[in-house]
Amino acid sequence: MLRALLLSFLLGQVLGLKVCVIHMHGLFESDEDNVGFKNFIEKKTGIPVYLISRYSDVASLSPLKYQAEDILEDVKVIASQYDQVIAVGYSQGGIIWRSMIEMWDDHNVVLFISLASPQHGASGVPPQVKNIPFLDTSFAYSSIGQALSIFNYYFDPSAYDLYLKKNTFFTELNNEAGTSAEKEQRKKNFLKLSKLVLIGGSGDDRIVPWQSTVFGSYTKEGVDGGVVIPMEDSRLYVEDLFGLRSMVERGDLMKCVYPRIAHLEFRDDRKMLKRCVLPALKPYYQI
């Protein structure tokens, strides 16, 4: 690890750049759950990794709008000490990071790694709680449901009009709602990224559908239809609502589909990190 840190220091001296990773944890987690990620990345690259501790455990159920606003204040303090920031968001943390990037007008985030994060929303509840009768679309889009973070990114394509009306957080995040000026600024901020890396896999046992991690989603028939369309056929991409298509056309979006590991393993599975994360970080630590 000492050698890696020395290499990172020398790179900073040569290029005159200071780089760090800021990692946001997932639902019902804390920074302690992601120490394995921090240790692995710092050992392999020498890039310092900061683990955000706010809104841990039960507090992670707080509405995402407030989480993103509060956490951004902490992030700005860290980011002010560096020339470039690499954002890593695991699970719900990836949604929070995208929200922060879109609302942060003068950000210095160059790389955003979305790690097993439901970027196109969660269509239906996780398999572990699917038998609870009241956890359905009506509840998700109710005032009670929208007071819980897990339903702030609930997306049922079969109830799209209801989604647009009731889910203010995710519709704004995806630039499906808001004034023209707000949409333009969010898209501008998103496209300031130099690269976006989307990581997920078919072994994910919590995100429904798992393809949401790479911006896939169900068709308008929803969960019952069972048909998933890829990112390239989604409205978010076709209409380039917040910059996905533009990023692809620039050659700055990378997908890494890694099968056979469950949702929690995406935190710090070594083989996955070597295949999906280290190649994305390579430009920032190799001389």
Which residues are part of the catalytic machinery?
91, 204, 263
Q: Look up residue 97 and give its two tokens.
A: 């990071």
Rounded CA separation 42/140 (Å)? 39
Rounded CA separation 141/161 (Å)? 11
Torsion of CA 27, 31, 34, 37, to 10 degrees: 130
| CB-neighbour burial class of residue 42 (10 A; exposed 0-12, middle 13-18, buried 19+) | middle
Strand arrangement, sheet containing 49-51: 49-51, 19-24, 84-90, 109-115, 195-200, 253-257
b/e map of 6-34 (b: 16 or more CB within 10 Å)? ebbeebbeeeeebbbbbbbbbbebbbebb
Angle at which helix 35-45 crosses helix 2-15, to 10 degrees, equals 60
Rounded CA separation 26/192 (Å)? 24
- Which residues have a Cβ under 8 Å from the Cβ of 85 and sit 6 or more positions away? 19, 20, 21, 22, 75, 78, 79, 107, 108, 109, 110
